[in-house]
Amino acid sequence: MSTTGDPKKSLYEQLARLGKAAASPARLELLDLLCQGPRTVEGLANEAGLSVANASQHLRVLHGARLVEGEKNGLFVTYRLADPAVGDFFQTLRALGEKRLAEVDAILREFREAPESLEAIEKETLLNRVKKGEIILIDVRPAEEYRAGHIPFAMSVPLKELRSHFPKLRRRQPIVAYCRGPYCVLAVEAVKQLRAKGFRAARMDDGIAEWRARGLPVAVSEVSK
């Protein structure tokens, strides 16, 4: 706490803890991953391309700012967002960056204008078409992220296992792939692989965090087969 005796300055000092915790690309990526669901330190390190020691250090900073919580289970520590409001904070920060930083806008525009991107379609319409079997919706994130929360009626097809699913996919049905949101390239790679094999495939830039933010339904279950 501040020793100045000024409550307003003390308040700003406490709020600045959030800014300091978020002032790292690696920590922002870890928050983005945790928006998908709880993960072990080892899992987060692997997905973010960090050493376990480095990931642990960043997670301690986020924990110190009360943005994440950790739970030890045997030899492993699993982290999760401390509150749904943390996910809202990340979404708001990203939206502000998209609005105010030309570099962020350019990156997203490149994604959205890519040939593999899905044409604009109402999310409820997409969900109804998936439910009717008109479209196959695949979640290409790792299976543990799918289990933590996924779009209803989506199939779990982790990118690393995509090729083994080719025989199970119907070529007459369009396929829509999604992953962690507009900054994630898993769905981009999935669409490239599917199109190379003759499937009609497109990428949806929304992920589960964006889906939740719109108040749309989210399913939590075991991996569908």
The 10s digit of each residue's pLDDT in 83-93 is 999 999 999 99
Catalytic residue among 179, 194, 208, 209: 179
The fold of 109-213 is: Oxidized Rhodanese; domain 1 (3.40.250)
Alpha-carbon torsion 77, 78, 83, 89, what sign?
positive
State residue 224's pLDDT score.
Answer: 47
Cβ atoms of residues 48 and 33 within 8 Å: yes
Which of 153-157, 197-201, 220-224 bottoms out in mean pLDDT, i.e. has the lowest?
Answer: 220-224
Distance CA 93, CA 170 (A): 39
- What is the value of pTM for the model shown? 0.83
Residue in the block written with tokens 């279950």: 221
As a whole number, the mean pLDDT across the chain is 90
Distance CA 106, CA 155 (A): 31
Q: Which CATH architecture has domain 7-87?
A: Orthogonal Bundle (1.10)
**Catalytic site includes residue 184:** no
Per-residue pLDDT band for 4 (boundaries 50, 70, 90) equals low
